[in-house]
């Protein structure tokens, strides 16, 4: 299968200058743990991601002011992305290698086309045993002292 066959197309996105509360509200309302950050809403060029963990660790736990912009807490590097024509085996390998649960799908110019989450791998490919192995490898703690 190809990435385009399992991705969620045109996901909601935020910009770096949006308030952090906007990303949190999207996560709450959509039951999401991840929102792509795009340069602007017209180009949709991916420049980062913001996760529920970013908000909890970088914002709440650090006791930042409520009026923070997303750019202050987003992850911009490294971004884990694939092309829409990438085989899903590449997606699996990236998830395991980078220990991420979501991968952005971008075109050759970096414009956001979709997102592939662990759940997409599990439900759309129907590979129960392999999916379990992927989830286990993604969740491995590479640093046992953390």
Query: Is the confidence at residue 144, as pLDDT, over 90?
Result: no
Q: Which residue(s) pair with 75 in the sheet?
A: 49
Residue pair 34/14 in contact (Cβ under 8 Å)? The answer is no
Query: Is the confidence at residue 29, as pLDDT, over 90?
Result: yes
Query: Is the confidence at residue 77, as pLDDT, over 50?
Result: yes
Domain boundary assignment for the chain: 3-139
Query: What is the pLDDT confidence band of residue 61, given thresholds at 50, 70 and 90?
Result: low
pLDDT of residue 41: 93
- Enter the CATH code of domain 3-139: 3.10.580.10
Whether the model clears a pTM of 0.85, i.e. scores above it, the answer is: no
Angle between helices 128-139 and 118-125 (to 10 degrees): 170
CA distance 106 to 36: 11
Query: Is the confidence at residue 14, as pLDDT, over 70?
Result: yes
* pLDDT, tens only, 115-125: 999 888 777 76
Cα three-residue angle 20-25-27, rounded to 5 degrees? 100
């Amino acid at each position: 299968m190809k990435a385009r066959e399992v991705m969620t197309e045109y996901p909601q996105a935020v910009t770096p200058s949006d308030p952090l509360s906007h990303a949190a509200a999207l996560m709450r309302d959509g039951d999401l743990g991840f929102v792509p950050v795009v340069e602007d809403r017209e180009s949709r060029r991916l420049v980062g991601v913001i996760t529920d963990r970013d908000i909890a660790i970088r914002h709440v736990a650090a006791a930042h002011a409520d009026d923070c912009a997303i750019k202050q807490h987003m992850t911009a590097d490294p971004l884990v992305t694939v092309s829409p024509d990438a085989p899903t085996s590449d997606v699996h390998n990236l998830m395991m290698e980078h220990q991420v649960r979501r991968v952005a799908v971008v075109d050759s110019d970096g414009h956001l086309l979709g997102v592939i989450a662990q759940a997409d791998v599990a439900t759309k490919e129907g590979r129960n045993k392999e999916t379990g192995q992927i989830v286990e490898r993604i969740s491995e703690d590479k640093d046992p002292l953390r």
